[in-house]
């Protein structure tokens, strides 16, 4: 009995080293938003994916079941990250980034999986893991640690901006090998936001933006499918059965939703008319079934979570946590913006999923982990600014 009690006490003491030193209660709204959006995602996937699931697997709920498993794993990650002192991530940032990069490169080995012409997944038993999702979070942690270390040198072109630019070029090159322009765009914008928050000069950022635009145009031109997407964005009616098919079908779904929607489960476009209904195009199915009023309510949850993230950054106890919080909040809101803008025809389609809601276990697990880190930072936040 005494031996068992001693072991339990030892385990508790060993875990205490990872917990925050303060007793401040964290911002529960961050966790509630993340969990709420994830549950909404499960609900939407349960409807949007039934037809394509039956078409591919002979049963209706394969995508829902896999997403539910990812949600459980993600909740474990969220709870763990909310308890682990955020300062630990500074120590783990470089090893985690290296592991993420190696995993991204590993998709080109024999156990890498190609879907729709893109090789971005690693097969782990019955599940697929997309390393680029982990790369987003590890990039945020590494960049925050790097910018914190640079301090005021970030304003210096030679000591700060050029090394950061080289880091960004390396990251872009690693991701673009997978033909994943959407993730490249998200990582680039996250990096730009973080370097801006760290105090970089505006003229340096403008110069970097110009270089980035030139590079992105080059990325579009070297791949015919990207160029076709750009052309279909500029003129969606030019090839309604080809490059413009998805965007036109998405518009039909969104237009059909009207104010209150057709009703949950009543989508017409999910009957194999609209491609990628459970991932890239899930927003169109949401509007079609739930209507604009309900979907706007869901979008307000995203906005509220992002605002909370930036407020946590404002009250963060140190520069590293401030940059991490800004990076995570920027990641969530910008990825949401890119998906919705693409599916509504405001920007070219990128294939980026909606955070927490689109089908994708890797994305959901990593996002919930990020939400846990954000919560832990809030536990250590200053009482006032």
In the chain, domain spans: 47-379
Cβ neighbors of 148 (< 8 A, separation 6 or more) are 90, 198, 318, 319, 320, 323
Confidence (pLDDT) at 17: 52
CB 298 within 8 A of CB 37: yes
C-alpha span between 291 and 285 (Å, rounded): 9
Among 376, 334, 348, CA closest to 90: 376
Higher pLDDT, 102 or 229: 102
Query: Residues 25, 303, 22, CA angle at the centre, nearest 5°?
Result: 15
Per-residue pLDDT at 106: 85
- Under 8 Å between Cβ of 18 and 29: no
- The DSSP element (H or E) to which 299 belongs, if any, is helix 282-314
pLDDT (tens digit, 9 = 90+) per residue, 188-230? 999 999 999 988 888 888 888 888 888 878 877 777 767 777 7
**Given strand 112-115, what is the order of strands in its sheet?**
112-115, 118-124, 127-129
Ramachandran area for residue 360 (φ above 0: left; ψ -120 to 50: alpha; else beta): left
What is the spatial distance between Cα 308 and Cα 305, in angstroms, rounded to a whole number?
A: 5
Q: How far apart are CA 136 and CA 134, in angstroms?
A: 5
How many CB atoms neighbour CB 285 within 10 A? Answer: 26
Scanning the structure block, which residue is given the tokens 């763990």?
Answer: 80
Using pLDDT thresholds of 50, 70 and 90, give the confidence band for residue 11. very low
Of the two residues 123 and 22, the one the predictor is more confident about is 123
State the average pLDDT over residues 247-259. Answer: 88
DSSP codes joined into one string, 176-218: HTTT-HHHHHHHHHHHHHHHHHTT--HHHHHHHHHHHHHHHHH
What band does 243 get if pLDDT is binned at 50, 70 and 90?
low
Confidence of residue 182 (pLDDT cuts 50, 70, 90): confident
| Mean pLDDT, range 308-326, rounded to an integer | 95
Of 364, 363, 358, nearest in space to 339 by CA: 358
Round the average pLDDT of the chain to a whole number and report it.
Answer: 86
Long-range contacts of 202-207 (CB under 8 A, 24+ apart): 204/157, 204/161
């Amino acid at each position: 009995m005494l031996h068992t009690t001693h072991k339990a006490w030892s385990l508790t003491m060993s875990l205490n080293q990872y917990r925050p030193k303060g007793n401040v209660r964290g911002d529960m709204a961050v966790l509630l938003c993340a969990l709420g959006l994830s549950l909404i995602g499960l609900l939407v996937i349960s409807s949007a994916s039934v037809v394509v699931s039956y078409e591919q697997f002979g049963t209706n709920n394969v995508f829902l079941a896999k997403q539910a498993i990812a949600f459980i794993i993600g909740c474990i990650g969220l709870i763990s990250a909310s308890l682990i002192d955020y300062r630990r991530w500074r120590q783990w940032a470089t090893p985690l980034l290296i592991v993420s990069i190696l995993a991204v490169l590993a998709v080109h080995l024999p156990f890498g999986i190609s879907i729709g012409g893109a090789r971005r997944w690693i097969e782990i038993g019955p599940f697929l893991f997309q390393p680029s999702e982990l790369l987003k979070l590890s990039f945020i942690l590494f960049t925050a640690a790097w910018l914190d270390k640079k301090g005021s040198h970030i304003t210096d072109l030679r000591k700060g901006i050029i090394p950061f630019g080289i880091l960004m070029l390396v990251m872009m090159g690693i991701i673009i090998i997978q033909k994943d322009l959407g993730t490249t765009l998200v990582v680039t914008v996250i990096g730009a936001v973080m370097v801006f928050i760290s105090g970089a000069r505006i003229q340096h950022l403008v110069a970097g933006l110009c270089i980035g635009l030139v590079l992105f145009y080059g990325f579009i031109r070297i791949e015919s499918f990207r160029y076709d997407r750009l052309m279909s964005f500029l003129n969606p009616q030019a090839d309604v059965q080809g490059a413009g098919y998805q965007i036109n079908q998405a518009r039909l779904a969104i237009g059909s939703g009207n104010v209150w929607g057709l009703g949950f489960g009543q989508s017409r476009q999910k009957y194999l008319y609209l491609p990628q209904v459970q991932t890239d195009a899930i927003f169109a199915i949401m509007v079609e079934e739930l209507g604009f009023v309900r979907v706007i309510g869901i979008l307000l949850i995203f906005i509220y979570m992002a605002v909370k993230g930036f407020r946590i950054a404002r009250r963060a106890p140190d520069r590293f946590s401030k940059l991490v919080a800004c990076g995570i909040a920027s990641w969530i809101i910008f990825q949401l913006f890119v998906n919705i803008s693409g599916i509504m025809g405001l920007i070219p389609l990128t294939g980026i999923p909606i955070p927490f809601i689109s089908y994708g276990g890797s994305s959901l697990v990593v996002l919930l982990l990020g939400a846990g880190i954000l919560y832990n930072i809030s536990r250590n936040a200053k009482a006032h600014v």
